[in-house]
Each structure stands twice: as structure tokens, then as C-alpha cells.
Amino acid sequence: QIKTRPALVVVYREADKNSDEEGGMRMSVQKYPVEQLMTPIVNSWLQQIRDHVIGVDKDALVSMPMTVDTSAALDEQCAAKGGLCVVAFIKDDNAEHKKIIHAVAKALYGKPYHFAIVDPTKQRTFSSVFDVNNPVDYPTVTVLAMRTSRYATHKGAFDEIAVRDFCTDILGGKVKTWRFQEMPKLVEGGETVEEIVEEEIVEEEFDLSDIMSEEVEGEAALSREDLAQRAQEELETQARLDA
């Protein structure tokens, strides 16, 4: 019932969840809740009704998560928005892996998750804090609770269902989290990895015949010494007898 003017009312049909008949519908009425018709509020109100009636166009609303290489960009994508930050560790912006993260972001739309992508090969120090060190560790995701300095890194399969379930399990308290002391910094443009020059190991070659000859000569030398000692002992013995 409209008692004041101007007024704004939306009338629409929607599924009747209480109906015993399959496909049952009912008429619904939504009245604009504010006395003054202000364009921003009206637009927001109409959008909410639209989302309720025909659903959310997640493809239009949820953009591909951004690859970040500065702490400021990560804060903008995650910390500034509150909730949980899902950092996807993806090498070289791999298109297939990014599609998986985009699908997870759309599946979790409307829930307190915000997404960003970091290249673990260019941000080694940052990645190592969250147990992402070697190629076998990525692609993966780390879910961060910025305010409490806690995290958990996914160790399972990197597919939409596994990653989505991991994120929801974090929120449900089903996954153990770990504390990090300080939020590591991202290096703009990526870290410069110093080239590791391995010291050349020189393998000295030995001639087996040389080794064997040394051993034989050693044995021969010992034999001569033994013979000399025995000869001396015999001479001393003979001298005593002659005396």
C-alpha cells in the first residue's frame, strides 16, 4: 500500500520455495526503503533486487585476479578490503593456472576472500615465508589472515574444486594455520637472483700401475731392511762365539 508520493515499487515473480507444485511461482513486491529518491541509493537498491531475481553475473563482476609485485599493490588487493587474502603462487602468469584461480574467485564471490597472484620465481623471499620454495611447491595458494598474521598453504592438487574447498575449510576452521612474524615485502620488478658459481671440482687421475708399483717397492724396501737386520744379528752372534 502506497501512502506517500513519490514512491518506488518493484513487482516481480519468483520461485515459491514453499509451493508443493514443481515450478511454483509467486508475486513479490519490494518497496524503496528511503523517503527521498536519491540516484546512488536507488541504483544500489535496484541492483540488489536484480541480483536476487536473476542472479549475479559473476563473469562481469569478478575480474581476473591481478599479478602483484609490490607490497602496496598486494595491500590494495587484499589487506585494504579486509577478510582473507588468497595469494596464488603462479609462475610466469601461466594462463591455465590463472583460469583456475579466476574460477575459484567467482565461485567464492560474496564471501570474505580477496585474490592476488605472485610469481614465486621472481619473489623468492616472499614465497619462502609461506613454505613455497621449490618448483614442486607451486602452483598453489596461501590463505592469509593479515590482521592475525596467520597463514596456511595448500599442499594438494591445483584445480578449482581442491583450491575452493581449501579456502572454505580455512574459513570453517578445518585447516591448521601457522603464524608468521612479519609480512614479507614484495620486490618491484622481481628479485635479482645472484648467479651461483660452483667451484670446479678437479678430479685427479691415478694410474693403477703407479700405485701398485709403489706398494711393491715399499714391500721390497722393508724386506731389505729385514735382511740387513738379520745379517747384523748373525755377525754379532758369531763374534760372541769366536770370543
Q: pLDDT (tens digit, 9 = 90+) per residue, 15-42?
A: 777 777 766 777 788 887 777 777 777 7
Task: Pull the grid cell for residue 212.
Answer: 701398485
117 contacts 66 by C-beta, under 8 angstroms: yes
Cα dist from 242 to 116, 230, 231, whole Å: 107, 18, 17
Give dist(CA 203, CA 41) in Å, integer: 79
Lowest mean pLDDT among 59-63, 132-136, 169-173, 221-225: 221-225
Q: What's the CA gap between 178 and 73, in Å, rounded?
A: 24
Whether the CB-CB separation of 144 and 78 falls below 8 Å is answered with yes
Asked if pLDDT for residue 67 goes beyond 80, the answer is yes
Helix (H, G, I), strand (E, B) or coil at 136: helix
Nearest to 128 by CA among 148, 153, 104: 153
- Grade residue 59 by pLDDT with cuts at 50, 70 and 90: low
Alpha carbon distance, N-terminus to C-terminus of the chain: 152
Instruction: Report the distance separating Cα 105 and Cα 90, nearest Å.
Output: 15
- The string of pLDDT tens digits covering residues 70-116 is 999 999 998 888 889 999 999 999 999 999 999 999 999 888 999 99
Give dist(CA 102, CA 119) in Å, integer. Answer: 16
pTM higher than 0.85 for the full model? no
The CA R_g of the chain, rounded to the nearest whole Å, is 39
Question: Which grid coordinates belong to 158?
Answer: 591445483
Report the C-alpha gap between 2 and 30 in whole angstroms.
Answer: 12
Amino acid 166 reads: F
Grouping H, G, I as helix, E, B as strand and the rest as coil, residue 35 is coil
Work out the angle at residue 219's Cα, subtended by the Cα atoms of residues 216 and 220, and round it to the nearest 5 degrees: 85
